[in-house]
Amino acid sequence: MTNQIEHSPTLLVLCTFILLFSGLAVFIWGKKLPGKGVWLVGAGLLVLLAGFGLDEGLFLKETFRVKVWMVGWIWPRQEVGALTVGVMQDLVGYAMGTLAALVSSTLLFHQFFLSRESCPEKIYASLAISTAGVSLAWNSLTPWLSFSGIALTLLGGIISFGTRSESNLEANNVARFAWERASGFLLAFFGACILTTSRSALLLSHDANWIIQGEHLSSTWVGSILLVIGLFIQTQPFPLLSGIVSKSEVYAPIRVLLTQAFPAWGAFSLLIRLQPQFLSLGLFPAFGWVALGTCLLAILSGLFQNQWRSALGAWLTAGFSLSITFLAFSSRLSALGMLLGSSLGALCIAAAGNALEEVCTQSLPHQKRATGLKIASFLGACAGTGVFGFVSAAGGIHWIIQTLQLPSLIPPFLIVFFLFVLLGWRLSWRVIRLQNVSQASWLSIFPIFIWVFLSLGILWTGTATGDVLLGNPDRLFSSLFSLFFDNQAEFSNPDEYVTASSLYWGILLLAFLSAYWTSGRKEDLLIRIAGVFPRATGFLASGYGVDQMAFQMMSGVSWLGRSAEGLIDIKIWTQWIPRGLYRGITSISQVLAEIDVQISSSLEGALKRLIEIPAKILQLIQTGDLRWYLVFALSSGFALLLHYLRT
């Protein structure tokens, strides 16, 4: 039995599907079983965690042997154009799946807030579906199963957003979310299909190489570009910021986790696994600039948001863009570090902010709980901004060191990083300043500290500081990151290390102080600036007027459609062609009728003339004006004459 589990991926797949079906069951029958949904989804999550635990335990017994299983799904797998599905169980897949399941499980403890939602069962269902999606996406051998996972995270996002869809505002939010993510998904799907046109199977494993010798690169290029763009859109960067910064009353951690983090984690499963392919195609350094630009735009928009929830959305999006930048310019290790740090940090700030925002209705205010939440918010900012001790620090410092190789790139990189950290701390200050009391239960505060724990560097890098010291003197155990990506994350050049770490810590400190100076004191400086320049800051905060432009564009398409329809359906087929046919047929028939009349009258005249002569003679004979015998004699005479003339 153990041997079978060790060599077959069926256990984990089964656990994932159990969770998925528990989510679907709660979605369908949740209302009929009030209060049971949380238990059903919780059981599903436990099953998945147990599956991961068992598999990881068996996995770690040996020397990290990756389990791979593949089957043809659509088209025979050995042929070009085959769509194959396969499971690849490696440590990074296990870790991300476990993390998603852990975060979702702990979020279930937020009963205090979740039970107040209009339909909590749908939120539990969406948690289960999205978690199953992340697990599938990260444990897939080919992109097709990853796409299924990404689609499940989208479904989870739509369901969770849709719980408040009775209001027009939330309905617009869910429709926009669905459309934007579906567009990204379809682009990525198109890209993968195009890549498949010249290959038998697209594999995500380490040793896979997508560059085909002697092949014309067009399909590889077009496919890869579409794939990257599609996955990039899953993280909702510029120009899709308006949806991220829109107002919403959905429970903030749910919004962060299910509509931002999990769909992005799904997309990152492909981006991180395919990084070597994109690098070899030269796509990644180029696309890294796009990501850096969108990161800057997201941060600038986030800085001038009136609501902390909107700013949080922008900050998390900026974090995803920064992770893609890390992936393009640095390494998968840096990218994953930043992705985990920013996601978990945003989740902490969201949960703390939501709890502190609640109006206290109880007679006895709870100051200790509010203090706990403020600490959680502070730690969330630490986790997301790369403070030492957290996983994001490993990402940040490695990125800066890589940047030192290209001195001209340092200023833009550092400016963006400074603004990112500034926004993170500004958010934290704004949440801390919300209220000094809270009625949130300890049971809902406790999971926030679990998320903080999950974002600690020691867990991922094996070092207390999160891989930021030269030579790693603080190493306690081996780094998971090194096991994930088969490379050690150690600094080799002491000079570079000193420069990089000085720059890094300097920026962190400067950003922290700037955030305090602008937002931590009594008067929020950026809000004051927004008051002085309302139009400019409004432009930034609203997402750079992209909404209006998109609206104009779609109005243009709609006008084109109406015009085409009006021209073809109404003018040509309903008016012009019937009229033309009518006129053509009537004019031809008129001409024919006239000709007919003329022919008839000519014939009539000829006939008349033909009949008139003998008729007149007969009439003369009849009336006696001409004697019949005289006519007979004359006729006989003529006949005889003719006869003799001929002979």
Partner 1 sequence: MNNHLISYMVFLPFFGALLQAFVSMTRSRWIALAASLAASACAIVLVVSMQIQTSDFQQMESLPWVGSYAISYDMAIDGLNVLMVLLVAILFPVLIASEWNQKVGVRGMHGLFLVLQTSLFGVVCAQDLFLQFFFWGLSALPFYFLVGIWGGEGREKAAFRSIVAASLGDALIFSALVLVYYSVDPHSFSLKELAGGRLAGKMFDFLGYELPVSGVAFILMSAGLSLRAPIWPFHGWFTEVAQEAPSSVFVALCAGSVPVALYIFVRVCYLLFPETLSIAGKIIVAVGATNLVMGGVCAVAQKGLRRLLAFICLSEVGFVLTGIGSLNSVGVVGAVYQQLIFGLGLAGFGLFSGVISERTGSTVFLAEDGERTFGGIATRAPWISVVAGVVVASLLGFPGFGGFVGHALVIIGSYSIHPFTVVVSGGALLLASYYLFAMYRSVFLGKPGVGSHPFEDLTFREQAYMFPVVLSLLFFGLYPKPLIELIRPAVLTVLSAVK
Q: Toward partner 1, which CB reaches closer, 94 or 144?
A: 144
Question: Applying CB under 8 A, does 172 fall inside the site for partner 1?
Answer: yes
Question: Applying CB under 8 A, does 565 fall inside the site for partner 1?
Answer: yes
Q: How many residues does the chain have?
A: 647
Question: Applying CB under 8 A, does 573 fall inside the site for partner 1?
Answer: yes
At 122, list the tokens: 């749908």
Question: Applying CB under 8 A, does 449 fall inside the site for partner 1?
Answer: no
How many other CB atoms are found less than 10 A from the CB of residue 99? Answer: 24
Q: Judged by CB under 8 A, which of 147, 320, 326, 491 binds partner 1? A: 147
How many other CB atoms are found less than 10 A from the CB of residue 419? Answer: 21
Q: Toward partner 1, which CB reaches closer, 54 or 83?
A: 83
At 598, list the tokens: 């003329």
Question: Applying CB under 8 A, does 605 fall inside the site for partner 1?
Answer: no
CA nearest to 120, candidates 20, 8, 42, 30:
30
Taking the complex as a whole, the smallest distance from the CB of residue 266 to partner 1 amounts, in Å, to 12
Q: Taking CB under 8 A as the rule, which mask of x and - marks residues 173-212 in contact with partner 1? A: -xx--xx--xx-xxx-xx--xx-xxx--------------
Q: Judged by CB under 8 A, which of 559, 628, 632, 638 binds partner 1? A: 559
Q: Which stretch binds partner 1 (CB under 8 A): 146-154, 424-432, 502-510, 587-595?
A: 146-154
Q: Which stretch binds partner 1 (CB under 8 A): 60-68, 215-223, 392-400, 505-513?
A: 215-223
**E strand or H helix at 434:** none
Q: Toward partner 1, which CB reaches closer, 25 or 515?
A: 25
Taking the complex as a whole, the smallest distance from the CB of residue 235 to partner 1 amounts, in Å, to 18
Q: Indicate the SS3 state at residue 438.
A: strand
Taking the complex as a whole, the smallest distance from the CB of residue 131 to partner 1 amounts, in Å, to 17
CA nearest to 231, candidates 262, 186, 284:
186
Q: Which stretch binds partner 1 (CB under 8 A): 519-527, 571-579, 602-610, 617-625?
A: 571-579
3-state secondary structure 440-464: CCHHHHHHHHHHHHHCEHHHHHCEC
Taking the complex as a whole, the smallest distance from the CB of residue 77 to partner 1 amounts, in Å, to 11
Q: Are strands 67-74 and 83-89 parallel, antiparallel or unpaired?
A: antiparallel
How many chain residues are in contact with partner 1, going by CB under 8 A? 51
Q: Taking CB under 8 A as the rule, which mask of x and - marks residues 72-91 in contact with partner 1? A: xxxx-----x-x--------
Question: Applying CB under 8 A, does 151 fall inside the site for partner 1?
Answer: yes
Question: Applying CB under 8 A, does 10 fall inside the site for partner 1?
Answer: no
Query: In 486-576, where does DSSP find H-type helix?
Result: 494-515, 525-532, 534-541, 546-565
Question: Applying CB under 8 A, does 574 fall inside the site for partner 1?
Answer: yes
Question: Applying CB under 8 A, does 251 fall inside the site for partner 1?
Answer: no
Q: Residue 414: CA atoms inside 13 Å, Cβ hemisphere, count?
A: 21
Q: Judged by CB under 8 A, which of 168, 213, 361, 362 binds partner 1? A: 168
Taking the complex as a whole, the smallest distance from the CB of residue 199 to partner 1 amounts, in Å, to 10
CA nearest to 468, candidates 452, 436, 490:
490
Question: Applying CB under 8 A, does 628 fall inside the site for partner 1?
Answer: no
Q: What are phi and psi of 363, to 5 degrees?
A: -70, -35
Cα separation, 575 vs 577, in Å, equals 6
Cα separation, 382 vs 503, in Å, equals 17
Taking the complex as a whole, the smallest distance from the CB of residue 149 to partner 1 amounts, in Å, to 9
At 623, list the tokens: 């009336």
How many other CB atoms are found less than 10 A from the CB of residue 348? Answer: 33
Q: Toward partner 1, which CB reaches closer, 509 or 577?
A: 577
Beta-carbon contacts of 98 under 8 Å, excluding residues fewer than 6 positions away, are 49, 52, 53, 56
Q: What are phi and psi of 379, to 5 degrees?
A: -70, -35
Q: Judged by CB under 8 A, which of 62, 166, 495, 523 binds partner 1? A: 166
CA angle at 414 for the pair 413 and 420, rounded to the nearest 5°: 95
Taking the complex as a whole, the smallest distance from the CB of residue 185 to partner 1 amounts, in Å, to 7
Taking the complex as a whole, the smallest distance from the CB of residue 586 to partner 1 amounts, in Å, to 18
Cα separation, 388 vs 505, in Å, equals 9
Residues 439, 369: contact at Cβ < 8 Å? yes
Query: Where does this chain bind partner 1 (CB under 8 A)?
Result: 72-75, 81, 83, 144, 147-148, 151, 162, 165-168, 171-172, 174-175, 178-179, 182-183, 185-187, 189-190, 193-194, 196-198, 218-219, 222, 226, 554, 557-562, 564-565, 568-569, 572-574
